[in-house]
Each structure stands twice: as structure tokens, then as C-alpha cells.
Chains A and B, each alone.
Chain A
Amino acid sequence: MIELEPTLRLLFGQQVEFVIIGGFAMNLHGSAHVTFDLDVCYERSRANLKRIAAALAPYHPRPRGFPEDLPFIWDEQTLQHGTNFTLITDFGDIDLLGEVSGLGNYEAVLAASIVMPLYGFDCRVLSLDALIIAKRAAGRVKDLMALPELEALREVTQKSED
């Protein structure tokens, strides 16, 4: 499980460039989907990697699903040597993705995001259209099962904006 507000405050506090994607993004759009982690797509400049490393370091990030005593160094270089990280921290599970299926890298994801107010910050969240593209591209059963609800949400929210 992830503690959403403190985790997001950490990232905002360090001015990390990121977009909320995945189940939490679905939820923010009105989906009844329940998720237990936070998925974000992050910008991969050196400065941003440094900010992410600094934001999470005090909360002991380590790879999820590996023994706790597995040697793991959390720093900017580790982030530079990988793209996608599935982590457990003192605040819970967080997935850091450098790119998203069907969309591409952070710049593409950012262009497909909208701003939502969250805990006093303007938070970037993947749009419903882009979530649908990403879920379809990911193609796993759980992704495809999310599509009918997302498409219904898109239909009713777009019609109400017309």
C-alpha cells in the first residue's frame, strides 16, 4: 500500500518533474478501480534524477520483490542506469517509469497529461484518452479489463464538456 499524500508531497517538495499514470490516474479521473501503488512517469534529465533520488532517499527505497538484505544503492547513478523501477519505500510501493507503453518517453507522456489540483499543487495526470491508449498498448488482461470503464468515463465527461 502507498501513502499517497506524503509521497506526492515529497516529490512536489523536491520539484520532481513527473506525471501520475496507471491506477491512481484512473482513480483521479473518477474510476472506481482500487490500486495499492503509485505509478509515475518521470523526466530523465540529470537534474530531475538528482531530485528524485533526494526526495525518496530518506524513505529507504529498494527494489520490490527482492530480499531486504539485497545490496542496493539508491542514488542518481542507479536511476541513470535503468529506466523503470518498481520500488518499496517506507511510504509504500511506487513505480517509476521512464516511458509508457503506447505513448513513449516523458515528453510524450507530459504532452498527453492534464493538470489536476491535488494537496495544494498543480499535479500532472495522464489524460483519459492517453490512459486508454496506454492500457490498450500494454495489452495485459488487467489492462484490457480497465478499458470499458475508462471509455465510459471518457464518453460521459466529454459529452458534459460539449
Chain B
Amino acid sequence: MSRTIEDQLLNPQPGSAAARARDFGIDLTLLIRRLELTPEQRANELQRTMRSLAQARLSLQKKGPDSRA
């Protein structure tokens, strides 16, 4: 019986690429959610993340180096 993507990522079989990724430190639960999206939804989500990170970086720059401590 074939396993769902969710099951493969939540319970990776020993020796599988998913198991290696998990052991490497990849959060496989993030991939489950990403794979449920369409490519355009993934692109839009990436764009929102980029904007948030760019905004955060700008705020840190405005506050000066001490704020990073």
C-alpha cells in the first residue's frame, strides 16, 4: 500500500531520503504544508516572507548595532 506524503514525512522509513533530511535538521513538517500549496501560493508565501525579513532587517538597521545583542 502506498504511503501518503504526510506519512512519509512524519514517519520516514530508516534509510530514506526523508529520514536523512530529518537527521540533517530539516523540519519535515514545514514541507508537508508547503506541498499542500500550489506553486503560485508557494511563490506568494515566499514573497511575504521576503518582505517580512527585509522589514525586520531595516528595523534593526534603524535601531543600530546595539539592538542586535
Which of A34, A119, A149, A154 counts the most B-chain CB atoms under 10 A from its CB? A149
CB pair B26–A149 under 8 Å, yes or no, is: yes
Contacts of B28 in A (CB 8 A): 152
The answer to whether A59 has its CB under 8 Å from any CB of chain B is: no
**Stretch with Cβ within 8 A of B (4 or more), from A11-19, A25-33, A49-57, A79-87:** A25-33
How would you classify the secondary structure of chain B's contact residues: helix, strand, loop or mixed? Answer: helix
**Stretch with Cβ within 8 A of B (4 or more), from A1-9, A64-72, A97-105, A134-142:** A1-9
Complex Cα gap A153–B2 (Å): 16
CB pair B21–A4 under 8 Å, yes or no, is: no
Cβ contacts A126-158/B at 8 Å (1 or 0 each): 000000000000000000000011011111110
With A34-B46, A36-B53, A152-B16 already in contact, 8 other A-B pairs whose C-beta atoms are closer than 8 Å: A24-B46, A27-B46, A30-B37, A31-B34, A36-B54, A117-B38, A117-B39, A149-B24
Cβ contacts B1-33/A at 8 Å (1 or 0 each): 011110011001000111011101011101100
User: What distance in Å separates the Cβ of A28 from its nearest Cβ neighbour in chain B?
Assistant: 5
Complex Cα gap A34–B31 (Å): 13
Q: Which A residues contact B (CB, under 8 angstroms)? A: 1-5, 24, 27-28, 30-32, 34-36, 116-119, 123, 125, 148-149, 151-157, 159-160, 162
Contacts of A31 in B (CB 8 A): 31, 34
User: What distance in Å separates the Cβ of B61 from its nearest Cβ neighbour in chain A?
Assistant: 14
CB pair A118–B39 under 8 Å, yes or no, is: yes
